[in-house]
Chains A and B, each alone.
Chain A
Amino acid sequence: GAVVSQHPSRVICKSGTSVKIECRSLDFQATTMFWYRQFPKQSLMLMATSNEGSKATYEQGVEKDKFLINHASLTLSTLTVTSAHPEDSSFYICSAEGQGNTEAFFGQGTRLTVV
């Protein structure tokens, strides 16, 4: 399958700082990338959908000013958690789909801990 690389895999930051997570499709062009959040032993919750060159579409209840998403190229999307607080601590996962594809390939995930 296609390869999606997510970085960093783990990050610990102080409350009030911002954290950027990168998601790259390594061997295909990702017209759409998705960002999920996952709590322990729970399923993935879609946060936002991002299309290359346009603004992200956020799910209900997700603050767009807090979770900034940029999809500047067909191989890179970034999620920035701004002014992070301990309640933002979670596992964040991106996925990517190519044009006309119905399979989504996931990054390795980023474990964010805000202290």
Chain B
Amino acid sequence: GQQLNQSPQSMFIQEGEDVSMNCTSSSIFNTWLWYKQDPGEGPVLLIALYKAGELTSNGRLTAQFGITRKDSFLNISASIPSDVGIYFCAGHPCPYSGGGADGLTFGKGTHLIIQP
């Protein structure tokens, strides 16, 4: 199936630093979604992107849908301890008809560890 290459695999940063992670694919994606997963919990949707070039913010989080539709990045500004967790990119590869089609394709996740 489709593969999403997510990097970095893990990040060790100081509190207050900015964070950047990205996902790339060899094929075009219809949507890009960014999720955060805390230990023992299900993923929580952070940002959803639908159009090539779209740039969306959610508080300290900013994500962009690459113009080629094959990549996306997520930035976190001024990290705080509660940002710790695993961040997943996910998307629906083209073609996608919605409701009843394939499940999401996930990246392997970026483990974010923040040192106080």
Point out the residues of chain B lying under 8 angstroms from A4, CB to CB: 42
Does B67 reach chain A (CB closer than 8 Å)? no
Q: Report yes or no: B100 in contact with A1, Cβ–Cβ below 8 A.
A: no
A98 to B101, CA, bound (A): 11
Residue from A4, A43, A49, A95 whose CB has the most chain B CB atoms within 10 Å: A43
Main secondary structure of the interface of B (DSSP, over half): loop
Q: Report yes or no: A46 in contact with B103, Cβ–Cβ below 8 A.
A: yes
Q: Report yes or no: A31 in contact with B108, Cβ–Cβ below 8 A.
A: no
Kindly provide the distance from the CB of A90 to the nearest chain B CB, expressed in whole angstroms: 13
Report how many residues on chain B are interfacial, defined by Cβ distance under 8 Å.
Answer: 28
Q: Report yes or no: B99 in contact with A101, Cβ–Cβ below 8 A.
A: yes
Stretch binding the partner chain, chosen from B11-19, B44-52, B69-77: B44-52
Q: Report yes or no: A102 in contact with B88, Cβ–Cβ below 8 A.
A: no
Does A67 reach chain B (CB closer than 8 Å)? no
Give the nearest-CB partner of B50 in chain A.
A102
Query: Could you tell me which B residues sit within 8 Å of A by CB distance?
Result: 30-31, 33, 35, 40-45, 48, 50, 88, 90, 92, 96, 98-104, 106-109, 111
Query: Could you tell me which A residues sit within 8 Å of B by CB distance?
Result: 1, 4, 6, 31-32, 34, 36, 41-44, 46, 49, 51, 91, 93, 95, 97-109, 111
